[in-house]
Each structure stands twice: as structure tokens, then as C-alpha cells.
Structure 1
Amino acid sequence: MQENELKNEYDEYLVGRERIVRVDGLELWAEDFGDPDHPTVLLVMGAQAQGVQWNDGIVRRLVEGGLRVIRYDHRDVGRSSTVDFAARPYTVADMACDALAVLDAFGAERAHMVGASLGGLIAQRLAVTHAHRVLTLTSLSSQPLGTDTAAAVQRALAGAPPVPGELPPPTPELLAALVSTFPEPEAGLEEYLAARLPLWRVLHGPVLPFHEDEYRAMERRVYERARDLQAALHHTFAGAAGTGSTAELASVGAPTLVLHGTEDPMFPPAHAEATAAAVPGARLVMIEGMGHTLPTALDHRLADEILHHTGRA
């Protein structure tokens, strides 16, 4: 095959193939990249985050490394259905079923699971309950199943001391930002951006350079894609309903990578250490200077860690 023909075929694989996945009366937006015959990696985003917040640079690097990549919007974010949570509450286990439905829709029997933040809990949940579907597990910027973050946050906000043995809550700076940086329901784009950017600055952490234009462009995309920005708050309630037990992670047989930033203000490094300790044979990799975001400057580093873990490096 000529060089130009190879390039055209490769470029075609970098164009997302979108589809709507229907599950349990809901519509989930999803897209895949890469050769459908290659091993699949499912990218599972965190709470209140859209699938497109998996940077295009990470997707490209994974496709270049020989993987088929799927990313999707959880229920209540982006182009997926919104839910009346009071009438139809759901849990992290339900969100894990959504992930399986996405895989089924794309004909992927098994996949490398990569989950960020709440997505890491969803990926862990699947590694426990649907081990036969999980080739490898990567828990990124997350915490172990069974961690009661909501209770830890409530104690921190009340000025109460932590419970002995409890994993540390988010930093005081982040707690302050979380309660003050969500925009009003009817906020226009500029008002929305003005409210959100201070939160991203804290989540990004104090070490790596903060490029405001990068986060502004990301949040603009989030704003323009969302059916209902307020619906994303339901993910907090779903997580507070419980994720299972840390002890369940002892049953995980999939090769596991725990990726975490040294400056994570949401889940300080002790969360990563606890996750790696709970999963037999898990490998812990700390990313120096990274907070609780995925800055584009780290796209290649994060993707290469995933490729190495999945055996595609």
C-alpha cells in the first residue's frame, strides 16, 4: 500500500464514529476511534464530566498505539439523557451497567477499562462484578471502592476530626471552591465560564503551569453539548449511595494500574496507595505535579502509561 493510502486509512480511524446507545429507557451518547478489529479500551469519565473531556490527544495516542478507543457520556451529562433523580434514583452500579451497554453496542465483548475519578470506581466495580469483560484495569485519579467520601467531606466542612483510619478528604481550598463555583441554572456562557475556571485552577494543582485558555475551551465545549448542566449534580448523589466494599477489590484478577497525581486535591495520594494495596498485584504510578485534571501537556505521558499497561507499547 502506498504511503498516502496508509495515511488516509489512518486518518479515517481518528474520526469519531458516533452513535446513541439505548439502555433502560435512556439514550447514551458514545463514539469510537481506531480499527474496530483492534483491542478495545473503554474510557470512563468522572462525576459531572462528559466523555469528550478525555482529551483528543490521549485518544489519538492510544489509537496510534494499536487500540480501538471508546468514550461516552454518562447519563445526566453531555448529549446523554437526563434523569429525574427524585423519581428514579440510580447508583454507581447502575452507571457500571451503562458502561457495559456501551461495550455491547459496539460489539466489544472484553475491554481494557480506564476510569478517571468516579470513572475509576465504575471500572473497579466492573472488575469485581464482570471480571470476564475486563482485560485490564486502570484506575486514574480515583480511590478504592467503599470509600465514604461524602461523610469525610461533611466532617471536614463541620470542622470535625477525621475518623481513625479514614482516607483524607479533599483539601480545604478545594472544598471552598466546590461550594462556591457552580453557576446559576440560567447562567449564560461567560457567566458559566467565570464560575467554573476558579474550580479548575484548584483542581489542576499548584505545580504544573495552568493554561486558562485550555480549560476555557474545554468548558465551552461542555456548555455547548449539555442538555442540562444541573443534571450532572446527580452523580454526587449516586456516589454517595455507596460503591461497595474495599474488601471486594481482593477478588480482582485483571492486571491493574493505579495512576495518580502527586498534587491531587480531590483524592490526595493516600487514596491511590489504598487502591493499589487493595488490588492483588496492582502497580502504582504517581505522576509528578499532576492534580485532579487531565492537562493536555500530560496526554502522551498518560496514554503511554496506559499503552504500556495494556501491552501495546
Structure 2
Amino acid sequence: MQNVNIWSEEFGAATDEPILLIMGSMSQGVLWPDEFVGLLTAGGRRVIRYDHRDTGMSDTVDFAAHPYTWDDIKDDVYRVMDAHGLDSAHLVCHSAGGLLGQFVAVERPERVRSLTVIGSSPLGGGEGQVIMRALLGQPQPEGSLPVPLPEFVAFYQALIASPPPQDRRAAIEGMIAEQRLLHGTGLPFDEDAARRLQERIYDRARDLSATVNHRLAAGAKPDFEPVGVLHQVKAPTLVIEGTHEVAKPGHGALIAEQVPGARLMMVEGLGHTLPPEVHEELATAVLAHTAPRDR
């Protein structure tokens, strides 16, 4: 399905090195913090962030009538680049956005100036199946990716068993609880800031419940991720993982092992969110990694 309007915004000068920020599954582009974006633009980058289909201000889809797969979500990356007149860009990706970025780097290497993945899993590693087996209490096959931390599993098991929130207040409280879990225990959690963020996410969403379509898309094509292809990545690659990652602990090292020349950067205290305490460290690393180079 191609007739989906994708919301995006850009910052910085049109002549600066372009960075496309790709957020994770079921997540709006504004989860890339304004402060982090500001540090990148102050460092001389043209920064673009966008809402995936079925999130935020992008179009929502009647999945029953117009089903789609993660291939379509991946192709939206190209559509955003095209809409902003970019033949190529630096891709900076978080969580499942890292799977999209890795896939694009393999499929269309000429469009990727560099690749940065934060809190992500290796393409083709079956991350979704690992998490689902963990939530169902099923054993993991030998050689599977490292499992999420026990507190992650317990939280989502309880969430799945709970009725959906009945109003805005209950929904936002649940979203704050989820952010607290993903934040991890390595850095202080600012509940007031979390509330402001989740209120923004709730209020700007066309239909917050539409994010479940990303799960349906994963089920529509479970083999979305090609296996054994990361050696084909030609883009300079920076892999970032927090020391308090709760969802995908140890996955960053596996990406760095498989991508030729990739560099692994561990960030002290970082969980699976992007809190203010790490903005400067992350921005400094991304600015260095996206500095103009001969292509």
C-alpha cells in the first residue's frame, strides 16, 4: 500500500550533512528528544524525524482492508528520503528502527552514508520471536539472541493480561510506567518529564490504538528480516548499547561482530530510552560518525 501520508519535519540548513532519524516499532518520531535533535543541528547537521505509519500524525490504516508488512514500513524510509530530496543520508536508528536501518543498508547501500543503531538487534536474529517466547514462558532454541531482563518480561506479561485503559489519564499512566521500565535502573527517572512526553505522544496521535498494526504487520510476514546478510553492510557503522539495556541486552555486540568494521559503544547507565543525561554523549558520537567523508 503506497497511499499513506507520512508526517515528517526537518531542522538545520539544507546544505548540511543529512541525518534521518528512524524510531522503533509503534513509536512516534518525537521520541527522538528535541534536545538531542538540537545538539545535532547545532553541530551542523540537517536532521529529519518522522512518524511511522499508524503512529503520531502519520496516516492510520484499516489493516483488515489494506494489510501491510514490515517491508512496507521499511520502504517508508525511502519515501521520506525522497520527499526531502535526499539521494542518501546518515541513518540514525533506535530499537526496531535499527532493523530497518540495517535492512536499508544491505538493500540500497548507495542511499546510506553511515549507519548508527542504538538499542537494536541484529537483522535476521529473530528478535521478535525471542521476545514472544520469553513472554509466553517458552524455552529458547540454542543459539538464540539473549533474552530480555526478567522485569521486562514480567511487565509485558501483566500488560497483555490487563484490560485496555478506559480514558486519557489511565492511558498516560500506563505509558509512563512503560517508559519507567524501559528507562532501566542506571539513571534517575524523571517522572515529570516522562509525563510531559507521554501527554504529547497521546495528544498528537491520530489514533493511539493503531500502533498495534505494527504487530499485525510483523505477523503478516514473519520472515521480514533476511538472515546472514550483515556482512554486506558497506556503510560505516556505529553500534550503541546501554549498560542497563532491558529489552535487548547484549544484542549490540552481535551487530558489531557481523558488520565489517563496525564499532561498539557502550553508554554507562543507558537503558532502552534516550534520557537527557546521555544526549550530549550520544550527540558527540553521532556528530563524529556523520562527519563528511569521501564517498
When normalised by structure 2's length, the TM-score is 0.93
Paired position in structure 1 for 2:259: 279
Paired position in structure 2 for 1:141: 119
Letter in 2 for 1:304: T
Preserved CA contact (<8 Å) 1:92 1:242: no
Paired position in structure 1 for 2:229: 248
1:60 Cα deviation after fit? 0.6
Q: Does 1:191 align with 2:177?
A: no
The secondary structure found in structure 2 opposite 1:135 is strand
Alpha-carbon RMSD across the aligned residues, in angstroms, is: 1.7
Deviates more, 1:295-304 or 1:147-156: 147-156
Preserved CA contact (<8 Å) 2:135 2:156: no
The secondary structure found in structure 2 opposite 1:253 is coil
Paired position in structure 1 for 2:278: 298
Deviates more, 1:211-220 or 1:166-175: 166-175
251, 268, 271: which one aligns with 1:288? 268
Give the Cα–Cα distance (whole angstroms) in 1 for the partners of residues 153 and 247 of structure 2: 9
The secondary structure found in structure 2 opposite 1:137 is strand
Paired position in structure 2 for 1:30: 8
Higher relative contact order (CA 8 A, sep 6+): 2
Give the Cα–Cα distance (whole angstroms) in 2 for the partners of residues 119 and 275 of structure 1: 14
Within 5 Å, give how 1:217-228 maps onto structure 2. Answer: 217-228=196-207
Letter in 2 for 1:263: H
Q: Does 1:267 align with 2:254?
A: no
Letter in 2 for 1:187: Q
Give the Cα–Cα distance (whole angstroms) in 2 for the partners of residues 94 and 219 of structure 1: 27
Preserved CA contact (<8 Å) 1:73 1:80: yes
Paired position in structure 2 for 1:56: 34
1:185 Cα deviation after fit? 5.7
Paired position in structure 2 for 1:209: 188
Give the Cα–Cα distance (whole angstroms) in 1 for the partners of residues 22 and 217 of structure 2: 15
Deviation per CA, 1:87-131, whole angstroms, max 9, x where unpaired?
333222211211111111111111000110011111111101111
Change (3 A) 1:156 1:246: same
Counting matched residue pairs gives: 289
139, 147, 150: which one aligns with 1:161? 139
Give the Cα–Cα distance (whole angstroms) in 2 for the partners of residues 99 and 184 of structure 1: 34
Paired position in structure 1 for 2:99: 121
Paired position in structure 2 for 1:309: 289
The secondary structure found in structure 2 opposite 1:209 is coil
Within 5 Å, give how 1:9-28 maps onto structure 2. Answer: 24-28=2-6
Preserved CA contact (<8 Å) 2:93 2:101: yes
Deviates more, 1:255-264 or 1:180-189: 180-189
Paired position in structure 2 for 1:200: 179
Structure 1: gaps spanning 5 or more residues = 1-22
1:181 Cα deviation after fit? 4.1
Preserved CA contact (<8 Å) 1:197 1:215: yes
45, 58, 65: which one aligns with 2:23? 45
The secondary structure found in structure 2 opposite 1:247 is coil
Give the Cα–Cα distance (whole angstroms) in 1 for the partners of residues 226 and 232 of structure 2: 11
Change (3 A) 1:59 1:157: closer
Give the Cα–Cα distance (whole angstroms) in 2 for the partners of residues 147 and 85 of structure 1: 26
Paired position in structure 1 for 2:152: 174
Identity across matched positions, percent = 43
1:184 Cα deviation after fit? 5.9
Structure 2: gaps spanning 5 or more residues = none
Give the Cα–Cα distance (whole angstroms) in 1 for the partners of residues 164 and 4 of structure 2: 23
Preserved CA contact (<8 Å) 1:141 1:267: yes
44, 50, 71: which one aligns with 2:49? 71
Give the Cα–Cα distance (whole angstroms) in 2 for the partners of residues 309 and 101 of structure 1: 24
Preserved CA contact (<8 Å) 1:174 1:199: no
